[in-house]
C-alpha cells in the first residue's frame, strides 16, 4: 500500500462532493442548502454511514460544477482538511498538482478558507483549512 502524503502531515479526509442538477434536488429530500455566490453553487451536507457527503448544485450556467453535470459525472471531488492551507498547497504543488483556485473563504464552512487543486491522474481535490483549536488565542 502506498501512503501518499499529497496534502501534508496534518491532512485528514473531510468529505466527498457530489454534483446534482436543479431538477435532481427533489430526489434528495429535505436537505438544507446554503448558497455560496463566490463558488456559484448551493451546497448541503448529509452523512452516509461514516462519510460526509457534500451535495453541490450549480446556481449559474458558468458554475464550475456545471461541466461535471453535463458530462454525467456525479463524483466531483474529495476534500481534505489541513491545519494550514498555504502549507497544504505547497505539498500539492510538490506532487505535481495544479492550483485551480487560490484560498478563498467559503460560506458553507463559516468563512474558513478553501482551495482547489487538480492532478492529471488523481483528479480534483478541495483543501479546507481546519478551524483553529480552542487553545489557539492568536489574533
Domain map of the chain by residue range?
Answer: 13-129
Rounded to two decimals, the pTM is 0.86
6-64 per-position pLDDT tens digit: 999 999 999 999 998 876 666 677 788 899 888 899 999 998 888 999 999 999 998 98
Neighbours of 47 (CB within 10 A): 9
Given a cut of 50, whether residue 139 has pLDDT beyond it is no
Given a cut of 90, whether residue 112 has pLDDT beyond it is yes
The highest-level CATH class for domain 13-129 is alpha beta
Cα 13 off chain centre by: 11
Give the Cα separation of 45 and 37 in Å (integer). 17
pLDDT of residue 138: 42
Q: How confident is the model at residue 82 (pLDDT cuts 50, 70, 90)?
A: very high
Amino acid at each position: 500500500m502506498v501512503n501518499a502524503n499529497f496534502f501534508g502531515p496534518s491532512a485528514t479526509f473531510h468529505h466527498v462532493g457530489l454534483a446534482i442538477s436543479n431538477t435532481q434536488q427533489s430526489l434528495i429530500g429535505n436537505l438544507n442548502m446554503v448558497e455560496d455566490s463566490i463558488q456559484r453553487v448551493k451546497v448541503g451536507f448529509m452523512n452516509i454511514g461514516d462519510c460526509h457527503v457534500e451535495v453541490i448544485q450549480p446556481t449559474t450556467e458558468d458554475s464550475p460544477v456545471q461541466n461535471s453535470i453535463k458530462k454525467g459525472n456525479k463524483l466531483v471531488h474529495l476534500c481534505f482538511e489541513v491545519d494550514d492551507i498555504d502549507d497544504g498547497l505547497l505539498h500539492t504543488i510538490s506532487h505535481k498538482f495544479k492550483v485551480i483556485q487560490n484560498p478563498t473563504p467559503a460560506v458553507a464552512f463559516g468563512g474558513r478558507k478553501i482551495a482547489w487543486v487538480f492532478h492529471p491522474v488523481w483528479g480534483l481535490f478541495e483543501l479546507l483549512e481546519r478551524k483553529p483549536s480552542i487553545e489557539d488565542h492568536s489574533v
